[in-house]
């Protein structure tokens, strides 16, 4: 059974940085894509960045300058660094992955993924 567990959220000052982590377990191989999403109260879940099985990445068009996604295949861990945090970044951040094996690229749409973590809260204050 695949499980995703996020960590690294918290309260941050405007202009600060944060690195989120997501540990994947239950897979028997590493042939799958992973992604980060976020959801603010009253808003739809928004795709931020993704990485595929060969480390290819894709980013949200308007946020790419402040995001850095990375994947440690040996540790089955996905990371997201967010720089220059703003109050609008306040949201629950979720990790997602798809069924393995998957040999294509990745996407930042919710329908692309089969498994979701419970999320980690990020709150940005001035």
pLDDT tens-place string over residues 3-15: 999 999 999 999 9
Residue 104 CB neighbour total at 10 angstroms: 11
Which H or E element spans position 81?
A: strand 77-82
pLDDT tens-place string over residues 24-81: 999 999 999 999 999 999 999 999 999 999 999 999 989 999 999 999 999 999 999 9
Residue 68 CB neighbour total at 10 angstroms: 16
Q: Which residues, listed in sequence order, are joined to residue 10 by a DSSP beta bridge? A: 122
């Amino acid at each position: 059974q695949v499980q995703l567990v996020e960590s690294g959220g918290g309260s941050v000052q405007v202009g600060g940085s944060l690195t989120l982590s997501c540990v994947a377990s239950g897979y028997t191989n590493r042939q799958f894509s992973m992604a980060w999403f976020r959801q603010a109260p009253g808003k739809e879940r928004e795709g931020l960045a993704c990485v595929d099985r060969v480390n290819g990445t894709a980013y949200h068009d308007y946020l790419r300058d402040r995001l850095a996604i990375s994947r440690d295949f040996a540790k089955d861990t996905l990371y997201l660094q967010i720089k220059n945090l703003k109050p609008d970044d306040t949201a629950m951040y979720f990790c997602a992955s798809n069924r393995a094996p998957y040999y294509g690229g990745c996407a930042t749409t919710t329908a692309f993924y089969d498994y979701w973590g419970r999320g980690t809260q990020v709150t940005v204050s001035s």
